[in-house]
Structure 1
């Protein structure tokens, strides 16, 4: 099985090389790893502090683990934080983040890379988040007796860890010193396969989104654009979402404006969105050039990093990804701002989405007719809108403090 795993890493590397000739993400993925070990060595050669390693797959996992990283830095400022990302969508947005001392891409998971990486970084502890499991890095950490903690881990019965053929993946779990799981079900699944080193901490994303909702960054251009209108904010949308929102935008009356923040912001994708939306839409970059152009109904966000602050201006939110194989994006960010959250049908793997529905703040839809019905029901009924908004906000508030639980356990 290890041979097959190693082969899959090599195939992945080869595909990235091919795709990097025409795909921007693949190009960044490859360029960010050029001379990576040399840059690591140069950065850390004079570092004398004890080091702690935080790894995140992408931007979402960073926001999830960020409360733990920042609390550790606050409590133990003498430590040096080394932070790595797998994906360009995480690294490129947070490469200048001041909460970590060193920020790099993670070298691909080969045995040689894992050994060399740990030889250079020499972490005293390592923290990974949610789903991120890399065989050679985990084994190398275990062999060196370096504690490895999983933050906000969540497990489901259909995952390979719990299948008869999942021995290879269970071996990765044996390298983890402690699992901080999101719910009781995850802990019980671990117990069924022989792991008792878990604590129910909840999801650290609640801490992060709640903290962000208290002091969001003001965006004056958006404030000018929306004026006193009500706002539908569509975040992390995919093409299937954008097709529905395009139809919905045609039904919006003059009391409403739409802010659309697509998951992919490359020029060709944004161009396609703009062509479909027509003259009522303006790109955010164009709004910056002409701030007085506020007559339109729609603004399309053509950059990354604004979305968490945009929700403060919303009345209702729509979260994308629910029509894709990967599933919905972060529903907690708008919920923290007490926004009702609408999303597509692929949400079953996301515990918080199901709980948000039960609480009365989440609304799944399967097609345009359902989207139109839910939006109309909320937008035309102030009482229903207020109830849904209150339910969203309360759901987040009731689930904060995962970070404190984690540190209480680590202190013990």
Structure 2
């Protein structure tokens, strides 16, 4: 769960506590948008009967929840996950970048508040590379389905990565077009 905000972590821990009853070897990584909230999130996890440790405390810890309360590691952590949740989307915070997990071919979950990434979110949904959820029940059901069906999880992840692949070279194409227009106008 990347770039999570206040109000979302409660939902995430509730969902994880339910899922871990069925999928015993699950591991959750929560990367709060505000890393200073690490201790509070570890305590919140404990309130849900979950054992959490904080990355800022160094090394590997004991537990099924890692609070990634450090900077600069989230993008690479997405490579390790089976599914990804995009924070700032179940609460009105305008969402965060769903392409970060998509680049690794991971199925993406996000809530209804994805205004800052509206076009990308629509494209991921249209390609079936993402799932939009509205509450804890939606999120739990969606993740459960993909954990139960590895072939479907891989298919959805491929669809997410397909969006990335389909847009490779777009920047270069735009630069070439701009140069062509500038050359025509004698400004290059």
Name the structure 1 match of 2:11.
Answer: 244
Q: Is the 8 A contact 1:316 1:341 kept in 2?
A: yes
Q: Are 1:283 and 2:54 matched, yes or no?
A: yes
Q: Are 1:265 and 2:35 matched, yes or no?
A: yes
- Secondary structure class of the residue paired with 2:156: helix
Q: Is the 8 A contact 2:8 2:91 kept in 1?
A: no
Cα distance in structure 2, aligned partners of 1:287 and 1:257: 18
Name the structure 2 match of 1:308.
Answer: 75
**Cα deviation 1:253-274 (Å, max 9, x = unaligned):** 32211111111112xx222211
Match for residue 151 of structure 2 among 369, 383, 386: 383
Name the structure 1 match of 2:95.
Answer: 328
Cα distance in structure 1, aligned partners of 2:90 and 2:135: 9
Equivalent residues, number: 173
List gaps (5 residues or longer) in structure 2. Answer: 181-188
Q: Is the 8 A contact 1:320 1:328 kept in 2?
A: yes
Q: Which has the higher strand share?
A: 1
* Bigger relative CO (Cα 8 Å, ≥ 6 apart): 2
Aligned runs of 1:116-195 on 2, under 5 Å? none
Cα distance in structure 2, aligned partners of 1:393 and 1:379: 18
Q: In terms of Rg, which structure is larger?
A: 1
List gaps (5 residues or longer) in structure 1. Answer: 1-233
**Cα deviation 1:86-135 (Å, max 9, x = unaligned):** xxxxxxxxxxxxxxxxxxxxxxxxxxxxxxxxxxxxxxxxxxxxxxxxxx
**Residues 251-260 or 334-343, more deviating:** 251-260
TM-score, structure 2 as length reference: 0.86
Structure 1 stretches of 4+ moved >3 Å: none
Q: Is the 8 A contact 1:347 1:354 kept in 2?
A: no
TM-score, structure 1 as length reference: 0.40
Q: Are 1:297 and 2:68 matched, yes or no?
A: no
RMSD over equivalenced CA pairs, Å:
1.5
Q: Are 1:411 and 2:179 matched, yes or no?
A: yes
Q: Is the 8 A contact 1:322 1:344 kept in 2?
A: yes
